[in-house]
Structure 1
């Protein structure tokens, strides 16, 4: 208050001092304060500008503006107005004058809406009402006005309400503060922003003081924060992601090798299955041929038991040779069968042994699951990988258990083949000896020896035939059972193929993640720099709002008020004409400092 009085006394003293010669205004700095009023909905009403000049010495001043009326607020010196040009002389250190503007738009548009209990309502109908009130203030850029203000100015909106009338006050975008018995809600909108501000409360006997809006340059300088620790952490994250990607890459390669081995296993298993099926299909012919030999030997034995007087031994000899030939053919068939079986078995054994026997530890498995837990697709691929890995190990274990049985088949075939060969040689020798006997030996003695030999051969072949039948039955059971084994191996191959595809997708995902995080520290720093540059307006140079002809403008500010919605307004409107008429220039000037 003391400062205001001194300023008024100083101005009054200056009014009676003589005016000295004036100088140019190169050393004059100008400031503009734009005052505007809005109705309660945000529509613009009146506007005037208080121009202030800082002088280092007495000066002649020329100022520009499309004013409808100007008024000296410093002394009684006349201001000459010629169109849009104002001229005056002063010796004061500070000089103020007011210029009224008409049809001059603000750099911003304001839309203020009101609802009562969810229903839209006009402001003049809201006075004195009770209920839940919502006030929404929406500033927007007026694109028809110089954009330098909207691009560099921040808006500060202040709403003051009576705490006794407003309960449960909420303003999500605002800051609440106590101001005596009132509550003050402040909103801030940065340059080039577009947003709405909402205030809600339960109100009794609704009244609302004027909403204050000020617009000032966002000239604060923002220093870049020290991000070393943050970027270090992001660097660690990027390195860890790269390591995970490398690990998944190795895993993918291992799964690919596993899948190749399982594919080879499936091929070998298919060959083995085909061979064992072929062996089973040939078993009937083998058994039938053996049965024919068995019957022939039995018939021969029975024939030798009868009277052989006058018998033609050439037919017997021929029959023995036919039997030997049949045994040779059977032995040859078993040799081919043994070779095919051995090839199939070797392929199967090589494929099964190609499955890696490395065990994945529980810690390694948990690490993999932790690495993909945030990605549902990668987690699903890893679950398939685990199931396929377990199926491969199960197949390998099962094969190890039955491998001895598979390995014993080939030696058994070799042994049977050798027995048939020896038997054929024995019968062929018998036929040869019979031929000799008919020439040089006693026929009856030879026949007895032959009968004894044929009897022993028939008995032995009965045992052989029984073993052969049991063997072919076993081959049939093995062929049927191996169909299920091969089906399991086929499922395993399908699983490892799907697993390989999933691992490749997982690796693609981790590669993309690693690539996107490799320069994460630089990205974070760049984003911070961009954000700081967006709001750092420290290099802003003020421009005149009134006219682009005005130079040396130090600052331009906007002071905007809405009309209040109060019961006092009605009384003020009745007395406004009389009070304005009673106020003179000094009263109006002093009002600026009150």
Structure 2
């Protein structure tokens, strides 16, 4: 099918570009003496298989406008016509005469002559030959074989012999293939250029040249001078446009061999080139050795970052364990604080009970005062009776008058005496009971007094426990301080690490930049080598033209070819020089890496130190808190249980005493005491139930609190039952009622206090035990976590050290590469450049070399070897390019740069973690230090509380001692009271007997007045005895009153002591609160530590990834350097050495035949003919038809 002119122009441009890129620059045609030359272009339309259909020829008579007169021309064209001007012509056979008008002549015509070069195209689909028509629309693997046959033979002189050669033609075929239909396009002699939408294919051949050069069998097998080309592709719905082929005839006209006159000088230059190539090979080997050391260093670097990552992972895990332990510690201190609040509440209830006991003692004292007042009245009555008896005795004379009255009075007295005796019996029985109660009370006091030593011992244990608690608090504060210092060192170490990581990242980026520049320099080196290879190949091809140019006296052609070769050597030297410079930059980057790694190692060392201090601080924290909580709980529990036992014994004794006083007791005071006790118990129950709601309360402490609540509820039941019993008690004696009321109140209060103390003691003991166990366990977790942190930090430090070692190895390798390989490469490049310069300088003597050439046939093998060397250099160059493409395809530089950027970005994350750990303006560390200071300051409060408890204990001991001392007097008074009771009973018996006698006497007095005097005397004696007994009774009551006064004083001291105990427990509670606050601050600090460790772990991962990328890039660089080393060796073995050998052996023979091919005898200058006076030049453009499946484009 026909294509539009635009496609034609595009294809022509592609063909021209290929020709200009693969053939020598076409020299201007030599003009004839008259200056007119003929430029001829032959346009051939052919089938898709290359069969000629028609030929159109365009001729340009160049410079014909300047000719004087008509211009004669020769042409066998048919249908000649002027295509540009109005000039006319006349034709006589093949002779054409043009009438010029100061303008060049352009004319056109047709021809049916045979072309000097035939073109054949064969198509194979899946290895089966197929016609273009059959191929249209098919799919499969296409092979297109294009062959050219040179039919233009000429006879020329070679070494004075006639030799047949073919006129030199260069055939260039171009085609444009759609990427929709063609893929995987390849060509054996040519190039494929793809822009994504289409494939531009250019094939090149030089038909007949191989035969014209008459190459030896050895060189003929090695040097491939193509007679055609083969294009292969995978096709889908195959369709193909027109192909365009250009044939040019002046391939060898640009070669000028006239200056080749000094083979010795050229040989010297080749020797120097050989030496330079050897040095270049040595330099590439040193480069490979250096990159191998670089790769080994990056492996060490990567191994170090792996260890660092493992260490930071352990650091993070340890920080998590530390944070978890700190949380448990906080929960334990919260429980301790809640228990101290319960202890404070119990102490408050104890204080309230002591106040109630003091009130009961006051009431008891008031009752004994009333008892003493009653005995005083009785004593006064007996005195009156005794006075009456005396009066009766002295008034005996009046007796008779009143005998009747006396008898009546005696009867009444007898009746009253009986009543008095009954009352006295009841009184004395009460006195006996009171004395027994007093004895029991004093025994209780003695028991309390005897237990005061145990109480003092318990208070000493409490004091020692508090002191140990204070010491533990100090240890805890010291541990917190050490932790803060360690955390500060840790943050400083991390800051150092961040700085080192930043330097490492920057060094990595510098290294990547240097490596990129290194790759770029090597990339520039490869084209230089390629250019040198192409120059050698071009030189090999052009040397075939030298012989002709020598014969034509045109040595400038060879000069130009060798200049191109020298230019390639310069490019290679420049590339090596630039590569050397990039090696220096890479060495600088490696030094930065080493410096960053050292900073990293310093940072991890500081990290190890900080982690060790944290672990030691937690150990001190465990020792202080565990011992203090256990000691405080045991001491407080024992003290409270001992006090409760003593109080219960006293209450039992008071109950026995009071019960013996009277069955009729006033219920008001007892009801008040019971009510107060119930209120205290209810308050304690509410407090304990509130503690059950505390967040984070462990199961053991909760069980202990529930047990205490059950005991208090049982006490409430007993109090309610006692309150109900009060309604059944009846009042009999005011004194007994007062004693019963006071005793019951005291007894109930003491029992309530004892129950509260026992319950609270049990709760505190269990809570302290549970808290101590829990805190010890969690402290062990904290220590384990801190040990993990320390171990992780040590691992990180080891990894950093290994990283530093790897970086040093990297730096050492780069330095060695810079010191050794750089010098050798620089020397090689300088020598190579100097050799190129000498080659240029030696070209001035080439003409003398040509004059002295001997046997032409001996140069054939040299030319063939030169071409073979060019081919092998080209292959080596392709290997070099493949190696560097692989280096670039791995994107190692991008990965390294990305890793460095991530490392730099992780610097901010790590810095943020440090800021989080430290808090704003170092707030976290300040808070921890403040907590430690508060914990230490709590020592003063605890010391003050212990001092107050000690003072209260002293007062309590004094009060108990006073009570014990007064109990002796009370016991003595009770004994006197008992003795007085005997006397009183005796007196009452005597009174009874006396009244009986009085009655009898009165009767007798009535009967016999003589007996009256005797009865009056007996009456007087009985009254005296009665007065004596009343006096003893009064003395005993006074002793009882004095004892109750001492009891009241003792209970006042007890109130004062319990108040001090209450103040001490409040101080204990405040200290526990401070401990709890300190634990909370510690928890906040460990959370920040955990976050910082996590950030550090993430940064270490980024560093590890970057080191891996660095290692991969170094491996790729090493592989590329190996390819460069192998390519340099191949470049020398197959290129430079063979070039030298070829120049020495086969050069002359090739020069002679090239000279013959360059002569006018071999040249093809016109297709249709020309005048002998004109020079000529002709080129052919052959357009083949395209084909498709018939669908429209």
Q: TM-score range by the shorter chain?
A: 0.3 to 0.5
Hey, which of these two has a bigger chunk of strand by percent? 1
Larger Rg: 2
Q: Which has the higher contact order (CA 8 A, sep 6+)?
A: 2
- TM-score using structure 1 length: 0.42
